Amino acid sequence: EPEVTQTPSHQVTQMGQEVILRCVPISNHLYFYWYRQILGQKVEFLVSFYNNEISEKSEIFDDQFSVERPDGSNFTLKIRSTKLEDSAMYFCASSTGLAPLPQFFGPGTRLTVL
Protein backbone atom coordinates (compact mmCIF):
# COMPACT_ATOMS: atom_id res chain seq x y z
CA GLU A 1 0.00 0.00 0.00
CA PRO A 2 1.46 3.40 -0.93
CA GLU A 3 2.45 5.63 1.97
CA VAL A 4 3.51 9.18 2.63
CA THR A 5 7.17 9.26 3.68
CA GLN A 6 9.04 11.98 5.54
CA THR A 7 12.70 12.70 6.15
CA PRO A 8 14.43 13.12 8.45
CA SER A 9 12.61 11.41 11.30
CA HIS A 10 14.32 13.70 13.80
CA GLN A 11 16.03 17.02 13.19
CA VAL A 12 17.93 18.98 15.83
CA THR A 13 18.87 22.55 15.05
CA GLN A 14 20.06 25.72 16.71
CA MET A 15 17.74 28.66 17.11
CA GLY A 16 17.96 31.00 14.12
CA GLN A 17 18.98 28.26 11.69
CA GLU A 18 17.02 27.33 8.60
CA VAL A 19 15.55 23.86 8.34
CA ILE A 20 13.93 22.02 5.47
CA LEU A 21 11.60 19.15 6.17
CA ARG A 22 10.97 16.77 3.31
CA CYS A 23 7.96 14.73 2.34
CA VAL A 24 7.16 12.39 -0.51
CA PRO A 25 3.36 12.30 -0.93
CA ILE A 26 1.50 9.37 -2.42
CA SER A 27 2.17 9.46 -6.14
CA ASN A 28 -1.30 10.04 -7.61
CA HIS A 29 -2.33 12.55 -4.95
CA LEU A 30 -2.89 16.17 -5.89
CA TYR A 31 -3.31 17.96 -2.57
CA PHE A 32 -0.53 18.27 -0.03
CA TYR A 33 -0.57 19.48 3.55
CA TRP A 34 1.61 20.25 6.52
CA TYR A 35 0.46 19.98 10.12
CA ARG A 36 2.33 20.27 13.37
CA GLN A 37 1.85 18.98 16.89
CA ILE A 38 3.62 20.65 19.76
CA LEU A 39 4.19 18.19 22.60
CA GLY A 40 1.03 17.76 24.63
CA GLN A 41 -1.09 19.87 22.29
CA LYS A 42 -3.44 19.20 19.41
CA VAL A 43 -2.49 18.61 15.80
CA GLU A 44 -2.65 22.00 14.05
CA PHE A 45 -3.05 22.76 10.37
CA LEU A 46 -0.30 24.82 8.77
CA VAL A 47 -0.83 24.89 5.02
CA SER A 48 -2.40 23.15 2.06
CA PHE A 49 -0.96 23.13 -1.44
CA TYR A 50 -2.51 22.36 -4.80
CA ASN A 51 -1.48 22.94 -8.38
CA ASN A 52 1.84 24.46 -7.30
CA GLU A 53 0.37 27.08 -5.05
CA ILE A 54 -0.85 27.50 -1.51
CA SER A 55 -4.61 26.96 -1.30
CA GLU A 56 -5.02 27.63 2.40
CA LYS A 57 -2.79 28.60 5.30
CA SER A 58 -3.31 29.11 8.99
CA GLU A 59 -2.21 32.07 11.08
CA ILE A 60 0.68 29.93 12.31
CA PHE A 61 2.08 29.85 8.77
CA ASP A 62 3.77 33.25 8.81
CA ASP A 63 6.61 34.64 6.70
CA GLN A 64 9.10 32.32 8.40
CA PHE A 65 7.48 29.35 6.70
CA SER A 66 7.42 28.41 3.04
CA VAL A 67 6.49 25.33 1.05
CA GLU A 68 7.69 24.07 -2.27
CA ARG A 69 7.25 21.19 -4.63
CA PRO A 70 10.69 21.27 -6.22
CA ASP A 71 10.10 18.27 -8.46
CA GLY A 72 7.39 15.75 -9.26
CA SER A 73 7.72 13.82 -6.04
CA ASN A 74 8.94 15.94 -3.12
CA PHE A 75 7.04 18.46 -1.02
CA THR A 76 9.08 20.53 1.41
CA LEU A 77 8.46 22.79 4.36
CA LYS A 78 11.13 25.39 5.07
CA ILE A 79 11.44 27.31 8.29
CA ARG A 80 13.69 30.27 7.62
CA SER A 81 14.90 31.16 11.10
CA THR A 82 13.83 28.65 13.70
CA LYS A 83 12.59 29.65 17.14
CA LEU A 84 12.39 27.57 20.28
CA GLU A 85 8.61 27.42 19.91
CA ASP A 86 8.94 25.76 16.51
CA SER A 87 9.93 22.55 18.31
CA ALA A 88 7.18 20.11 17.40
CA MET A 89 6.31 17.05 15.37
CA TYR A 90 5.63 18.05 11.77
CA PHE A 91 3.30 15.85 9.73
CA CYS A 92 2.95 15.86 6.00
CA ALA A 93 -0.27 14.58 4.42
CA SER A 94 -1.68 14.13 0.95
CA SER A 95 -5.04 13.44 -0.65
CA THR A 96 -6.60 12.89 -4.06
CA GLY A 97 -9.06 15.72 -3.47
CA LEU A 98 -10.69 17.96 -0.92
CA ALA A 99 -12.66 16.76 2.12
CA PRO A 100 -14.52 14.48 2.59
CA LEU A 101 -11.83 12.62 0.70
CA PRO A 102 -9.39 11.45 3.38
CA GLN A 103 -5.92 12.77 3.98
CA PHE A 104 -3.11 10.25 4.39
CA PHE A 105 -0.41 11.16 6.86
CA GLY A 106 3.30 10.51 7.00
CA PRO A 107 5.13 9.36 10.13
CA GLY A 108 6.26 12.86 11.03
CA THR A 109 9.53 14.69 11.60
CA ARG A 110 10.37 15.62 15.16
CA LEU A 111 12.01 19.04 15.10
CA THR A 112 13.96 20.09 18.16
CA VAL A 113 15.19 23.68 18.30
CA LEU A 114 17.90 24.36 20.90
Residues that bind other proteins (CB under 8 A): 3-4, 31, 33, 35, 41-45, 48, 50, 55-56, 58, 91, 93, 98-100, 102-108
The smaller minimum CB distance to other proteins, of residues 31 and 75, is found at 31
* Smallest distance, other proteins to C-beta of residue 93, A: 8
On the CB side of 103, how many CA atoms lie within 13 Å of its CA? Answer: 16
The smaller minimum CB distance to other proteins, of residues 22 and 45, is found at 45
Interatomic CA distance for residues 90 and 2, integer angstroms: 20
Give the pairing of strands 88-95 and 31-37: antiparallel
* Smallest distance, other proteins to C-beta of residue 27, A: 17
Asked if 92 and 9 touch (Cβ cutoff 8 Å), the reply is no
Asked if 4 and 33 touch (Cβ cutoff 8 Å), the reply is no
The smaller minimum CB distance to other proteins, of residues 15 and 54, is found at 54
